[in-house]
């Protein structure tokens, strides 16, 4: 979700405010859990039900639901109700870009260990 005083075409600020630094640190802390990263990875190819995410990650539905609640509270994923089920997806293209860039960085480090 873009910052209300910052349009999508503007470059990021060169000085990071205390508020922004805290929010960013909270987001990175949330993403610091391997289980939540795996949940997000399953959503790269589109929305899924909790059961499908849990099975893909090898987690229990309860643990997956807990991760999704945290991710949703921080606007990293979004849920859309379909009857009795909720389908979860990455919240926006920024989350997708962040995850994709982080995966590319790890892949680069794996192939260039001395980089």
- The class that CATH gives domain 32-111 is mainly alpha
Predicted TM-score (pTM) of this structure: 0.82
Q: What average pLDDT does this structure show over 86-101?
A: 96
Place of tokens 């997708």: 96
Domain boundaries defined on the chain: 32-111
Percent of the chain with pLDDT over 90: 84
């Amino acid at each position: 979700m873009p910052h209300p005083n910052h349009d999508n075409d503007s470059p990021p600020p060169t000085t990071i405010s205390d508020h922004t630094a805290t929010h960013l640190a909270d987001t990175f802390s949330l993403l610091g859990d391997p289980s939540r990263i795996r949940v997000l990875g399953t959503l790269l190819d589109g929305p899924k039900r909790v059961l499908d995410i849990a099975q893909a990650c090898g987690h229990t539905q309860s643990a997956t639901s807990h991760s999704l609640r945290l991710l949703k509270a921080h606007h990293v994923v979004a849920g859309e109700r379909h009857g009795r089920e909720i389908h979860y997806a990455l919240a926006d293209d920024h989350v997708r870009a962040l995850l994709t860039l982080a995966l590319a960085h790890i892949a680069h480090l794996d192939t260039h260990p001395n980089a």
